[in-house]
Amino acid sequence: MSARYFCSELSSFNFKQYWRLYLLSRLVQLHVYLYIIYMDNSLSRMMIICGHHQKVGYQENGEAFLPRGKRMAGTGSFSEILDGENNVYKYYSEGEWRKSVSGKSVAIVNPTTRKTQYKVQACSQAEVNKVMEAAKIAQKAWAKTPLWKRAELLHKAAAILKEHKHPIAECLVKEIAKPAKDSVTEVVRSGDLISYCAEEGVRILGQGTFLVSDSFPGNERTKYCLASKVPLGVVLAIPPFNYPVNLAVSKIAPALIAGNSIVLKPPTQGAVSCLHMVHCFHLAGFPKSLINCVTGKGSEIGDFLTMHPGVNCISFTGGDTGISISKKAGMIPLQMELGGKDACIVLEDADLDLAAANIVKGGLSYSGQRCTAVKIVLVVESVADALMEKVNAKVAKLTVGPPEEDCDITPVVSESSANFIEGLVMDAKEKGATFCQTYKREGNLIWPLLLDNVRADMRIAWEEPFGPVLPVIRIGSVEEGINHCNASNFGLQGCVFTKDINKAMIISDAMETGTVQINSAPARGPDHFPFQGLKDSGIGSQGITNSINMMVKVKSTVINLPTASYTMG
Ligand code: NAP
C-alpha cells in the first residue's frame, strides 16, 4: 500500500465537497482519503491531509510502478498487438500481428481474481505450417547476416525490452501473480541476458578449431581440418509459466545470435507477457519471419508443433510434458529443462541462521513456484529443533496477499495447482506429518506451510508441490540425506550447509544433481552459469554459453594436401 500526502487548507469545506472529491477520484480510479486534523467549531475551516491509496508494486529504486487504473499493457507502443475490437491479443507471424482465422481464443485467468484477464488467439495448424515455412526461409538469409549485425540487433531489442519493463511486468503480475517487484526484475534480467548473449555470441561463434592430421596414428600431415559452428535452422522454443519472459529469451537470444530462426510457443499463463516481449524484438527491426510467436493451448497445438518436420531443434522448459516431447520428437537436438525436487542438506556444523534464511527464501520465493526452489529439507536430527525454530520465525514474517502489493506469498498459478498442492498436504496430514503452521487456503492463495517429521512414505517427500509448502525430513546421518536425494527421479540442483569445505565437496560429488550449491539455496542464475538437470530433470545444459553451443552444429572443411606439410624446420 502506498500513500502520497499533501496538505491543503480549505475554507468552507464540507462533507458534500468531500463526497464530490471522492466520487471524482473514483472516476480516475484513485482511492482518496481525507483526514481531518483540525477543524474549528463551525466546520467552516478545516486543515486536511488528503492523499490516495493505490495498490502498487515498486521499482528497484523503490518508486511506485503500477498505478491502479493506468493499464499500460496493450496500449501505446503495444496497441498493435491487441485486437481491440474483440479484446484478444494477436499472434506474430511474418513480421505482422495477426488474428487467427480459427476465430477462437484462449482465456488467461488471473490467478488472484480467478477471472479472465486476457485472451490470446488459438492458432490453427494451417497457421503453424505457414509460420514454419516462413521461418525456414528467413533463417537462410539470417545465417548470412554478419555476426556483429546480429549482435547489434539483439542489443537494440534488449534496450527496448528494458525500456518497456513496466507494461510487461504488469502482464506478469496479472497472468502469473508474480510479485510486482520480482516481475520488473524478471524483465530487466531478460534484457541483460539478451545483451550478454550478443556479446558471448560474437566471441564464441567467431572462433573455430584448426586440426592437423598427423596427431592420429598412421597419418602424415596431409589434412587440415577447419571446424566452425553453423546454425541448426528453426528452433522451437517452449517456456513454462513461472518465468515466461526470462525463459523465453534464454532460448530466443542464443538461437538468434547463432543464426537460427525462432518459433515461440508461450505458456498460456504468461502468453501476453511473451507477446509484449516479442513486440520489443519487432520494434528492434529484426527481419520478418525470423521471430514468430504462435499462441494456443499446449494440449491442443503442442504435439503438432513439437512433431512438426520444419523444426530443427526444441528448447523446452517445463514439467513432465518435456519427457513425452522427448519421446515423440524426431532426430533433432533437444534442450530439456524439467522439474526438480531440490534437496537442502543441513549438517551439524552449519551456520543455522544462514541455512534458515536460504531455506525460507529458496523454498518460498514466488510461492515456491520455481524449478530450483528448495523442495525438501534434510536436516541432521541434532540441529533440527534449532533450525526449525529459526525457519518458523522467518516464515511468520512473510506477507501473504496479492502480487500487486508485492506480498511474499501470492496466489499460485491456477486452481488445479492449488488443488494439487492441497492433495499433497492432506496426504502428509493423514500420514502424520507435523504441521508447523495451520494450513490455510483462500482461492488460489495458500499460506506458507512447513511440514516437519515428513517420512519417505508421504507423497510430499518425492513430488514437486510447486507451491508454498516445504517438507522437512530429520535424518540420522549425512549418508541418509544423500541417499534420499539420489533416490529421487529428479536431479536438478541441491544444496548443502556446512562450515567444512572438505565435507561439502564430498557431499557435492555424491549428490546426483546437475548443480550443488554450497552454503546457498539452489538458483538458476547468474544466467551465464551452466545450468542442467540429471535424470528426469533434463537433457543438455543451459546457461548462455552452453545454449549458444547447443543451438549450432559443428561443420568441418578438410583441406587435403598432395604432400605432407610440416611447419618450419
Ligand atoms: P508444463 O505444464 O510442462 O508447461 C510448459 C510448457 O509446455 C507450456 O508452455 C505449455 O503450454 C507447454 N505444453 C503443454 N503441453 C504441451 C505439449 N503437449 N506439447 C508441447 N508443449 C506443451 O510446465 P509449467 O506448469 O508451465 O511449469 C512448471 C514446471 O516447469 C515445473 O515442473 C518446473 O519445475 C518446471 N521448470 C523447470 C525449469 C528448469 O529450468 N529446469 C525452469 C522452470 C520451470 P500451455 O501453458 O499452453 O499448456
Q: Where are the domains of the chain?
A: 3-64, 76-337, 343-536
For the domain made up of 343-536, give the CATH fold: Aldehyde Dehydrogenase; Chain A, domain 2 (3.40.309)
Of all residues in the chain, what percent are helix, strand and coil, respectively (each to 5)?
Answer: 40, 25, 35
Looking at residue 124, what DSSP letter applies?
A: -
Q: Classify the C-alpha dihedral 513-269-194-200 as positive or negative.
A: positive
State the pLDDT at residue 567.
73
State the pLDDT at residue 17.
54
Report angle CA 352, 461, 538 to the nearest 5 degrees. 95
* Assigned C-alpha cell, 77: 507502443
CA distance linking residue 327 with residue 206, whole number of Å = 34
CA distance linking residue 25 with residue 421, whole number of Å = 41
Pocket lining: 442 vs ligand 1, CB cutoff 6 Å: no
Pocket lining: 319 vs ligand 1, CB cutoff 6 Å: yes
State the pLDDT at residue 52.
36
State the pLDDT at residue 233.
98
254 with 247: CB under 8 angstroms? no
* Assigned C-alpha cell, 114: 480467478
* Assigned C-alpha cell, 52: 490516495
**Cα-flanking dihedrals φ and ψ of residue 58, to 5°?**
-130, 145
| Residues with pLDDT less than 70, the chain | 1-71, 569
Select the CATH number that applies to the domain covering 76-337 from these four: 3.40.605.10, 3.40.718.10, 1.10.540.10, 3.40.225.10: 3.40.605.10
Strands 313-317 and 334-337: parallel
Pocket lining: 468 vs ligand 1, CB cutoff 6 Å: no
* Four-CA torsion 59, 62, 66, 67, nearest 10 degrees: -160
Amino acid letter at 463? E
CA 261 – ligand 1 centroid, Å: 22
DSSP-assigned beta bridge partners for residue 380? 475
b vs e for 93-125, b when ≥16 Cβ sit within 10 Å of the residue's Cβ?
bebebbebeeeebbebbbbbeeeebbbbbbbbe
493 with 375: CB under 8 angstroms? no
Q: Which residues contact 384 (CB under 8 A, 6 or more apart)?
A: 452, 472, 474
Pocket lining: 338 vs ligand 1, CB cutoff 6 Å: yes
Look at residues 429, 493, 489 and name the one whose alpha carbon lies nearest to residue 463. Answer: 489
* Assigned C-alpha cell, 57: 508494486
3-state secondary structure at position 170:
helix
Amino acid letter at 316? F
CA 465 – ligand 1 centroid, Å: 14
**Cα-flanking dihedrals φ and ψ of residue 60, to 5°?**
-60, -35
Q: How far apart are the first and last CA of the chain?
A: 79
For 108, 319, 419, 433, 516, the CA distances from 416, given in Å and listed in that order, are 14, 15, 5, 23, 31
| Residue 155 burial by Cβ neighbours in a 10 Å radius (0-12, 13-18, 19+) | middle
DSSP-assigned beta bridge partners for residue 49? 7, 35
Q: What is the 3-state secondary structure (H, E, C) of 217-280?
A: CCCCCCEEEEEEEEECCEEEEECCCCCHHHHHHHHHHHHHHCCCEEEECCCCCCHHHHHHHHHH
3-state secondary structure at position 516:
strand
State the pLDDT at residue 10.
38
Pocket lining: 325 vs ligand 1, CB cutoff 6 Å: yes
3-state secondary structure at position 144:
coil
Q: Which protein residue's CA is at the shortest distance from atom 48 of ligand 1?
A: 298
DSSP-assigned beta bridge partners for residue 485? none
**Cα-flanking dihedrals φ and ψ of residue 446, to 5°?**
-120, 130
CA 241 – ligand 1 centroid, Å: 7
CA distance linking residue 291 with residue 260, whole number of Å = 9
**Cα-flanking dihedrals φ and ψ of residue 315, to 5°?**
-115, 110
Look at residues 215, 213, 111 and name the one whose alpha carbon lies nearest to residue 171. Answer: 111
Q: Which of 105, 119, 321 to mutate to test the pocket of ligand 1 (most atoms within 8 A of CB)?
A: 321
Look at residues 266, 72, 273, 309 and name the one whose alpha carbon lies nearest to residue 172. Answer: 273
251 with 279: CB under 8 angstroms? no
Q: Which protein residue's CA is at the shortest distance from atom 17 of ligand 1?
A: 302
For 235, 236, 539, the CA distances from 335, given in Å and listed in that order, are 11, 10, 6
b vs e for 374-396, b when ≥16 Cβ sit within 10 Å of the residue's Cβ?
bbbbbbbeebbeebbebbeebbe
Q: Which of 242, 306, 316, 524 to mutate to test the pocket of ligand 1 (most atoms within 8 A of CB)?
A: 242
* Assigned C-alpha cell, 158: 534488449
CA 239 – ligand 1 centroid, Å: 6
Task: Just list the catalytic residues.
Answer: 337
186 with 411: CB under 8 angstroms? no
Look at residues 236, 333, 343, 374 and name the one whose alpha carbon lies nearest to residue 541. Answer: 333
Q: Which of 247, 371, 414, 532 to mutate to test the pocket of ligand 1 (most atoms within 8 A of CB)?
A: 371
Q: Which protein residue's CA is at the shortest distance from atom 46 of ligand 1?
A: 267
Whether the upstream peptide bond of residue 526 has omega within 30° of 0, thus cis, is yes
State the pLDDT at residue 71.
55
State the pLDDT at residue 408.
98
Pocket lining: 270 vs ligand 1, CB cutoff 6 Å: no
